[in-house]
């Protein structure tokens, strides 16, 4: 029997195998043909797509470069600019990134797509000549910006000064940092060199508070170090040497030089300052011969032009601040629907009271009906609710009995529904002003501060008279053209029913009266062996012909009583022929100065010269004539001594520029805004007229070729030596406690750490105390480094 095999063509497993093989082969063929198609498609499309991406990347780069160009043209010195940049979401279906980068040391714009494997570098033509471009942005972000910013920070510069720099053990040294500079808030610390220190914040509005007094307990040489720093943490230091002796130091000269600021950007000017100060201890001051030269033109006296402006001829005298609250009684009344009319009456016995009423839905209102010692408030159909009644004491002293009645009218009948009796005492803020004999014109005014509540002012005069009230709402003030010497009492009363009010009291006196007080104060500070005289200048009329006058009314004398009497006799009127006053005072100093005395002229004016010596009304000619007379005076020697000229500008109209030119040096000019300042200036001048510290002084500063002088400083001689600039000043003398400074600007020529002057050639030579022989002393001026660098470069951020 034969058995058949199952492996023949009818075997089902054999059929399955063929199907699998077919499918595998088909897949392989499909993959092969797809690959061929892709390769063919890439060959057909790669070149055009690459070219399109290059072009679009270039367009994006060009747009950003144009924005950068625009920004560089309008970029501010300090600040920022934002500009939007528009770019496609994709290029060739690929997102991309734009960023600033460096290639070969040059800034370029890089446009790249990681997915596309594409990068394009777009030059920006070194547009960042002074701008640093940074940052990046992605095309798929919704907003693209370029932001420009620059902020130049003024680095602090420490300037350490001290006077005197040579001192006796136990004597005070004044350490001065007030010429230091910095941006924003500035702090400082002095390390005195003996282990002690002092630290504080500098107040530019009150620089004298930053002067530090310190004394050393042992002899030796100490290095005091000043450190200043700002709110950003930047700091700078400066040193000064202090010599402490066991004996009294002889007169000497201190000299230094400094730069402000010590760090700057290329092309920015810096200020160079040369500082000299006389030092030493005065064992016996020399005698002085002083001529007061006083402007007594019409603007110095309010009585001369009383109708032009009520403040012409006045100067601030004393100011005070205060706060006042009302002295009041307060009550209330409830009003219901039965009121047809409401009346409130306030009766006083002998003083003025003010009645105020506040409705439930309103503010306080003043009584409408006012007569002597009676005030009435009336209203028809009053609002229902609680009404407030306030009675204010409007008088400066004592007290008074007051009656308040509340009346109701209902259906034609009147009813007294409430009555109050009470004592109301005055509650003013009280101040006093002492007026000296010299004052003829006095003005007092009270002004609300940070508010407008009504204030009333009373003045009790020295003879006991009480005058007032003066209302602040009407800008009223007390004025007396025949003021009494003695104490004036000022009462400030609140004429409002609630709260309080800050106020300021300003008093004014005539300018001519302030001058008299100050000049006589000066006379009280000089010695009996000194001389003092008085000259004045004005015209006989305010109208042509003017008849100018410049006369000596008190020759130089040791009798200060006689000098004061002549000052008291001054009256102000007419124009301002300043040249005549200068000439008259000079001739008096030449004729009558005691041999060996220091000749001094103190000129005071509140305005411009307006009249020439010939009576011509011309400010231009009068100013030039005054300058000519001042120059003649400076060149005039009295017993081999130059005449010193101090000038004081008094009031807002004073010509500061002219008075500085007239003065011996700019340091000899002072400005007085108030009577008190004028008096302080005269006292300062009296104390400064002391012994000399140095004579025959020559200051030489030799600038290097690293800097360019912006313009010649006043009073200096300029010359060149090779490629260096030589600046030189010559001074006759500097006295103990006298300061001389010269400042000028230079522009650095290059970046880096540079010297501005030549050490050794930049110096101060002088004849030292006791000023005999020909042996001069030389002080070498320091050659401080100037760091010229880009403090804060400009920056452009792509984001």
Neighbours of 288 (CB within 10 A): 22
Which residues contact residue 15 at a Cβ distance below 8 angstroms, ignoring those fewer than 6 apart? none
Which residue in the block uniquely carries the two structure tokens 């054999």?
14
Contact call for residues 431 and 384 (beta carbons, < 8 A) = no
Strands (E), 104-219: 106-113, 118-123, 131-138, 145-150, 161-163, 166-168, 172-176, 186-191, 197-201, 212-215
Neighbours of 589 (CB within 10 A): 24
Instruction: Answer with the residue of higher pLDDT: 572 or 309.
Output: 572
Contact call for residues 791 and 150 (beta carbons, < 8 A) = no
Query: What is the average pLDDT across 704-717?
Result: 89
pLDDT tens across 7-30, in order? 344 444 444 455 656 666 666 666
User: What does the mean pLDDT of the chain come to?
Assistant: 84
Which two structure tokens, joined as six digits, stand for 634?
């400076």
pLDDT tens across 403-420, in order? 999 999 999 899 999 999
Helix (H) or strand (E) holding 40: helix 12-74
Give the model's confidence band at 795: pLDDT under 50 very low, under 70 low, under 90 confident, else very high: low
Range with the poorest average pLDDT among 42-51, 98-107, 224-233, 269-278: 42-51
d(CA 306, CA 295): 19
Orientation angle between helical segments 560-568 and 511-525, nearest 10 degrees: 180
pLDDT for the residue numbered 300: 87
Burial class (CB in 10 A: 0-12, 13-18, 19+), 170: exposed
Burial 717-728 (b: 16+ CB within 10 A, else e): eeeeeeeebbbe
Distances in Å between the alpha carbon of 490 and those of 291, 316, 373, 634? 38, 16, 24, 48
Nearest CA-CA partner of 238 in 156, 304, 343: 156
Query: What is the average pLDDT across 286-303?
Result: 87
pLDDT tens across 306-324, in order? 555 556 788 888 899 999 9
The DSSP result for 185-218, as a single string, is -EEEEEE-SSS-EEEEE--TTSGGGG-EEEE-SS
Q: Which domains does the chain have, with CATH numbers?
A: 13-150 (no CATH), 152-249 (2.60.40.10), 264-284+690-785 (2.60.40.2110), 288-305+511-687 (3.40.50.410), 317-324+428-509 (2.60.120.380), 328-425 (2.60.120.380)
Range with the poorest average pLDDT among 58-67, 401-410, 578-587: 58-67
Which residues contact residue 335 at a Cβ distance below 8 angstroms, ignoring those fewer than 6 apart? 342, 382, 383, 384, 385, 386, 387
d(CA 103, CA 696): 64
Instruction: Answer with the residue of higher pLDDT: 543 or 332.
Output: 332
Query: What is the average pLDDT across 711-737?
Result: 89
pLDDT for the residue numbered 104: 63
pLDDT for the residue numbered 690: 59
pLDDT for the residue numbered 79: 63
d(CA 414, CA 433): 52
Give the SS3 label for residue 735: strand
Which residue in the block uniquely carries the two structure tokens 């009995």?
401
d(CA 446, CA 457): 7
How are beta strands 235-245 and 166-168 bridged, if at all? parallel
Nearest CA-CA partner of 348 in 391, 408, 407: 391
Burial class (CB in 10 A: 0-12, 13-18, 19+), 748: buried
pTM recorded for the entire structure: 0.55
Contact call for residues 274 and 255 (beta carbons, < 8 A) = yes
pLDDT for the residue numbered 10: 43
Query: What is the average pLDDT across 544-551?
Result: 86
Give the SS3 label for residue 27: helix
Contact call for residues 439 and 300 (beta carbons, < 8 A) = no
Which two structure tokens, joined as six digits, stand for 289?
């011969």
Give the model's confidence band at 790: pLDDT under 50 very low, under 70 low, under 90 confident, else very high: low
d(CA 533, CA 290): 6
pLDDT for the residue numbered 43: 44
Helix (H) or strand (E) holding 685: helix 675-688
Nearest CA-CA partner of 776 in 701, 702, 700, 698: 698
Query: What is the average pLDDT across 61-81?
Result: 70
Nearest CA-CA partner of 466 in 629, 351, 632, 310: 351
Query: What is the average pLDDT across 690-695?
Result: 78
pLDDT tens across 102-132, in order? 776 677 888 888 888 888 888 775 544 456 6
pLDDT tens across 585-597, in order? 999 999 999 988 8
Which two structure tokens, joined as six digits, stand for 306?
């009383």
Question: Partners of 145 in the beta sheet?
Answer: 84
Structure letter (DSSP) for residue 285: P
H helix intervals, 501-653: 511-525, 560-568, 578-592, 619-635
Phi, psi of 444 (to 5 degrees): -135, 130
Range with the poorest average pLDDT among 307-316, 692-701, 734-743: 307-316
d(CA 571, CA 306): 15
């Amino acid at each position: 029997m034969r058995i058949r095999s199952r492996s023949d063509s009818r075997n089902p497993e054999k059929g399955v195998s063929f199907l699998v093989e077919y499918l595998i082969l088909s897949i392989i063929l499909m993959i092969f043909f797809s690959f061929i198609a892709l390769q063919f498609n890439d060959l057909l499309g790669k070149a055009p797509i690459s070219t399109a991406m290059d072009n679009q990347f270039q367009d994006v780069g060009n747009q950003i470069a144009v924005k950068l160009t625009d920004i560089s043209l309008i970029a501010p010195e300090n600040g920022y600019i934002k500009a939007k940049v528009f770019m496609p979401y994709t290029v060739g279906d690929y997102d991309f990134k734009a960023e600033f980068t460096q290639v070969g040391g040059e800034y370029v714009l890089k446009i790249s797509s990681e997915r596309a494997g594409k990068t394009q570098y777009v030059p920006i033509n070194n547009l960042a000549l002074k701008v640093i471009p940074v940052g990046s942005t992605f095309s798929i972000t919704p907003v693209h910006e370029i932001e420009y910013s620059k902020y130049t920070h003024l680095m602090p510069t420490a300037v350490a000064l001290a006077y005197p720099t040579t001192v006796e053990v136990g004597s005070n040294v004044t350490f001065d940092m007030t010429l230091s500079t910095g941006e924003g808030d500035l702090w400082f610390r002095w390390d005195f060199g003996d282990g002690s220190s002092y630290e504080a914040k500098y107040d530019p509005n009150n620089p004298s508070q930053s002067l530090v007094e310190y004394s050393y307990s042992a002899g030796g040489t100490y290095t005091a170090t000043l450190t200043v720093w700002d709110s950003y943490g930047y700091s700078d230091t400066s040193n000064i040497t202090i010599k402490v002796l066991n004996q009294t130091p002889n007169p000497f000269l201190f000299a230094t030089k400094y730069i402000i600021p010590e760090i700057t950007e290329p092309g920015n000017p810096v200020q160079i300052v040369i500082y000299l100060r006389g030092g030493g201890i005065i064992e016996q001051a020399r005698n002085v011969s002083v001529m007061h030269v006083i402007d007594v033109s019409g603007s110095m006296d309010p009585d001369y032009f009383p109708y032009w402006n009520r403040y012409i001829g006045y100067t601030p005298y004393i100011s005070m601040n205060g706060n006042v609250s009302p002295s009041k009684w307060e009550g209330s009344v409830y009003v219901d629907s039965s009121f047809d009319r409401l009346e409130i009456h306030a009766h006083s016995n002998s003083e003025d009271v003010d009645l105020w009423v506040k409705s439930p839905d309103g503010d306080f209102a003043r009584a409408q009906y006012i007569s002597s010692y009676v005030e009435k408030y009336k209203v028809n159909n009053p609002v229902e609710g609680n009404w407030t009644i306030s009675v204010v004491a409007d008088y400066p002293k004592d007290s008074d009995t007051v009656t308040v009645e509340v009346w109701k009218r209902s259906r034609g009948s009147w009813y007294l529904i409430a009555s109050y009796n009470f004592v109301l005492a005055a509650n003013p803020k009280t101040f006093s002003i002492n007026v000296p004999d010299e004052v003829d014109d006095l003005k007092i005014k009270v002004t609300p501060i940070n508010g407008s509540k009504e204030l009333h002012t009373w003045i009790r005069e020295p003879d006991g008279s009480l005058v007032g009230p003066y209302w602040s709402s009407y800008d009223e003030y007390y004025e007396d053209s025949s003021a009494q010497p003695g104490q004036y009492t000022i009462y400030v009363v609140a004429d409002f029913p609630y709260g309080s009010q800050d106020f300021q009291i300003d008093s004014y006196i005539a300018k001519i009266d302030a001058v008299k007080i100050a000049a006589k104060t000066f006379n009280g500070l000089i010695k009996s062996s000194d001389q003092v005289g008085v000259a004045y200048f004005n015209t006989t009329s305010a109208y042509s012909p003017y008849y100018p006058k410049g006369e000596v009314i008190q020759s130089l004398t040791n009798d200060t009583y006689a000098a004061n009497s002549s000052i008291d006799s001054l009256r102000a009127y007419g124009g301002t022929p300043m040249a005549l006053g200068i000439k008259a005072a000079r001739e008096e100093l030449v004729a009558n100065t005691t041999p060996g005395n220091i000749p001094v002229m103190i000129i005071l004016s509140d305005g411009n010269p307006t009249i020439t010596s010939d009576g011509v009304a011309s400010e231009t000619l009068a100013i030039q004539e005054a300058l000519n007379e001042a120059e003649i005076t400076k060149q005039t020697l009295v017993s081999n001594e130059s005449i010193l000229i101090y000038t004081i500008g008094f009031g807002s109209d004073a010509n500061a520029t002219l008075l500085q030119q007239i003065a011996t040096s700019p340091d000899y000019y002072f400005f007085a805004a108030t009577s008190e300042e004028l008096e302080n200036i005269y006292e300062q001048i009296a104390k400064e007229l002391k012994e000399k510290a140095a004579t025959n002084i020559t200051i030489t500063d030799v600038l290097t070729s690293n800097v360019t002088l912006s313009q010649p400083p006043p009073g200096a001689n300029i010359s060149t030596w090779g490629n260096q600039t030589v600046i030189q000043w010559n001074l006759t003398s500097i006295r103990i406690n006298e300061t001389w400074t010269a400042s000028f600007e230079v522009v650095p020529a290059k970046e880096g750490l540079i010297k501005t002057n030549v050490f050794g050639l930049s110096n101060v030579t002088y004849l030292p105390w006791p000023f005999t022989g020909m042996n001069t002393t030389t002080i070498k001026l320091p050659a401080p480094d100037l760091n010229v660098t880009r403090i804060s470069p400009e920056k452009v951020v792509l984001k």
